[in-house]
């Protein structure tokens, strides 16, 4: 018997104490810090997304519990069961234990069946498509541009939004609190409609019309204060995949009505007459295989100029030549030219400086160049 009144603390207890303290300190630190926030999806804006978020939270909680438990056991074993130098004795040769193996087969089975039930339940609301949506939008994805057609209740087109992003004055506007049905079609390759804050994406597949429904939370927008949501293509669709950006703009019903009316008016308006060609130069640009044949153009300052544009891509592949200033504002945006066609684009006189010319449909490196005006 030891004469010391104090018992030695077992090494297990020390390790366990350290592990517990670390967990008690680390887990809240991570969860309540910025890193913790980034372990969750962004704020959900639709009713459906809120359901997905609730499901995510449950999956995440179970995942963290399993991670901490099993990773803890691994760390524990690594620290506790090291072989000491000179220790040549064999540890107990345990081959197995039927009871404990049945238990650790049964418990994960119960957990995954529970998760399956939950996710099946959520799927029913997230994937539901009703018969009487308030708004119908037909979204067309093609290399490398989104087009949003607004349909009436009979499915007839009333207006077309050809500008996909809010930065360029476009975007897919929808009223908050309304049931929106989106049908998806592609004329070329597979794309995907993805809005991170919808917590949702759906593939856009040629030869197959996909559909989904969503309702944006009414608190997201009020009169005069729309909420701009970013979206982009999520399925590799070719060279310009990353440029297939779009915005969904959540608006109050009043704002949306005005917006749609303006779009209808714009769709019906005749294009403004082309400015007459002045004394300036005429340049030649050819597009083939989604690339311009030149990377730089030069024109004189203060004089209108023209570009003879030939599109040698096949029919269905549209291009144009936009001019943008140094800060990215679109100065000129001539109409699209279909594959196999040619056109003469005329441009207003520009002050001296460096500009960018770019295809509106394919804003990729191969269809971007520098326009020098001096």
Partner 1 sequence: MATHALAPATTAYRTGLYEWLTTTDHKKIGIMYVINSFLFFLIGGFFALGVRAELAQPGLQIFSDEHVYNEFFSIHATVMIFLFIIPMLAGLGNYAVPLMIGAPDMAFPRVNALSFWMLPLGGLLLLSGFLTQGGAAAAGWTSYPPLSEVGPTKSPGPGQDLWIVALTLIGTSSILGGINFLVTIFKMRAPGMTLFRMPIMVWTILVTSVLVVMATPVLTSALVMLFIDRNYGGHFFDPSFGGNAVLYQNVFWFYSHPAVYVMVLPAMGIVSEVLPVFTRKPLFGYKAFIFATAGIGALGFSVWAHHMFTTGAVFLPFFSLMTFLIAVPTGVKMFNWVATMWRGKISFSTPMLFAVGFLAMFLIGGINGAFSAAVPVDFALHDTYFVVAHLHYVLFGGSVFGVFAGIYYWFPKMTGRLLDETLGKVHFVIMIIGFNLTFFPMHMLGLQGMPRRIADYASNAGWNDWNLVASIGGFIIAASILPFIWNVFISLRNGKIAGDDPWEGNTLEWATSSPPPPYNFDRLPEIRSERPLFDVRHGRLDHGDATA
Residues 302-331 that bind partner 1 (CB under 8 A): 313-314, 317
Strand-pairing partners, residue 145, are 142
- Positions in 170-199 near partner 1 (CB under 8 A): 188-190, 192, 194, 196-197, 199
Residues in the chain, total:
374
236 lies in the site for partner 1, by CB under 8 A: yes
Q: Is 237 in the site for partner 1 (CB under 8 A)?
A: yes
> Judged by CB under 8 A, does residue 31 bind partner 1?
no
**Count of alpha carbons within 13 angstroms of residue 229, beta-carbon side:** 25
* Cross-strand bridge partners of residue 172: 248
Per CB under 8 A, which of residues 138..157 are in contact with partner 1? 143
Determine the Cα–Cα distance for residues 174 and 154; give it in Å rounded to an integer.
Answer: 18
- Distance of alpha carbon 142 from alpha carbon 122, whole angstroms: 31
CA gap 366, 357 in Å, rounded: 11
Q: Which two tokens stand for residue 234?
A: 């999520």
Least distance to partner 1, CB of residue 7, Å: 22
109-138 residues in contact with partner 1 (CB under 8 A) are 109, 112-113, 115-116, 118-120, 122-123, 126-127
Read off the tokens for 323: 């001019």
CB-CB contact of 318 with 361 (8 Å):
yes
Q: Please state, in angstroms and rounded to a whole number, the distance separating the CA atoms of residues 337 and 343.
A: 7
Residue 43 found at the interface with partner 1 (CB under 8 A): no
Position 32 contacts partner 1 (CB under 8 A): no
**Spatial contact of 181 and 215, defined as CB atoms under 8 Å apart:** no
Phi first, then psi: what are they for 187, rounded to 5°?
-90, -10
* 170 in Cβ contact with 163 (< 8 Å): yes
Return the residues of window 92-111 that contact partner 1 according to CB under 8 A. Answer: 92-98, 100-101, 104-105, 108-109
45 touching partner 1, by CB under 8 A? no
Q: Which is nearer to partner 1, 47 or 222 (CB)?
A: 47
Of 25 and 73, nearer to partner 1 (C-beta) is 73
Q: Determine the interface stretch with partner 1 among 154-162, 205-213, 275-283, 303-311 (rule: CB under 8 A).
A: 205-213
Provide the greatest CA pair distance for the chain.
111
Find the shortest distance in angstroms from Cβ 195 to partner 1: 8
In the list 45, 46, 51, 176, the residue contacting partner 1 (rule: CB under 8 A) is 51
Q: How far is the CB of 158 from partner 1 (least distance, A)?
A: 26
Dihedral sign for Cα 255, 261, 267, 273, please: negative
Query: Binding of partner 1 at residue 42 (CB under 8 A)?
Result: yes
- Whether 174 contacts 248, CB under 8 Å: yes
**Cβ at position 23, least distance to partner 1 in Å:** 16
Among the residue ranges 17-25, 327-335, 341-349, 362-370, the one whose residues contact partner 1 (CB under 8 A)? 362-370
Nearer to partner 1, 90 or 269 (CB): 90
Tell me the C-alpha distance between 147 and 157, whole Å: 12
**Residues 261-290 as x/- pattern, contact with partner 1 by CB under 8 A:** ---------------------------xxx
Asked if 29 touches partner 1 (CB under 8 A), the answer is no
Of residues 38, 131, 132, 270, which one binds partner 1 by CB under 8 A?
38
Q: Which has the closest alpha carbon to 279: 308, 309, 305, 307?
A: 305
- The total of other beta-carbon atoms located within 10 Å of residue 340's CB is 13
Residue number with CB closer to partner 1 (134 or 188): 188
């Amino acid at each position: 018997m030891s004469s010391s009144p104090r018992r030695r603390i077992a090494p297990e207890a020390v390790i366990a104490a350290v592990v517990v303290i670390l967990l008690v300190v680390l887990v809240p630190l991570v969860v309540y810090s910025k890193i913790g926030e980034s372990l969750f999806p962004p704020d959900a804006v639709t009713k459906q997304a809120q359901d997905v978020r609730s499901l995510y939270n449950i999956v995440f909680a179970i995942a963290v519990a399993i991670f901490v438990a099993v990773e803890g056991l691994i760390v524990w074993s690594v620290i506790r069961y090291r072989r000491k130098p000179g220790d040549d004795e064999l540890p107990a040769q345990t081959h197995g234990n039927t009871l404990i193996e049945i238990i650790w087969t049964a418990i994960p089975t119960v957990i995954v069946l529970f998760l399956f039930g939950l996710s099946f339940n959520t799927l029913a609301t997230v994937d539901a498509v009703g018969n009487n949506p308030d708004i119908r939008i037909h979204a067309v994805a093609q290399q490398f541009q989104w087009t949003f057609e607004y349909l009436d209740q009979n499915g007839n087109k009333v207006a077309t939004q050809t500008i996909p992003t809010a930065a360029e004055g476009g975007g897919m506007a929808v009223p908050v609190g309304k049931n929106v049905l989106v049908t998806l079609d592609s004329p070329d390759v597979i794309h995907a409609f993805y809005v991170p804050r919808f917590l949702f994406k759906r593939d856009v597949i040629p030869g197959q019309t996909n559909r989904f429904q969503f309702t944006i939370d009414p608190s997201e927008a009020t009169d005069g204060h729309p909420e701009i949501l970013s979206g982009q293509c999520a399925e590799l669709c070719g060279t310009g995949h990353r440029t297939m950006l779009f915005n969904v703009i959540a608006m109050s019903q009043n704002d949306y009505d005005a917006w749609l009316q303006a779009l209808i008016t714009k769709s019906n308006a005749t294009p403004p007459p082309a400015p007459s060609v002045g004394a300036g130069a005429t340049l030649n640009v050819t597009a083939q295989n989604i690339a311009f044949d030149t990377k730089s153009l030069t024109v004189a300052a203060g004089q209108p100029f023209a570009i003879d544009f030939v599109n040698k891509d096949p029919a269905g592949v549209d291009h144009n030549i936009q001019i943008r200033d140094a800060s990215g504002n679109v100065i000129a945006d001539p109409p699209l030219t279909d594959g196999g066609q040619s056109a003469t684009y005329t441009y207003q006189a520009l002050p001296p400086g460096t500009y960018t010319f770019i295809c509106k449909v394919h804003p990729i490196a191969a269809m971007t160049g520098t326009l020098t005006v001096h």
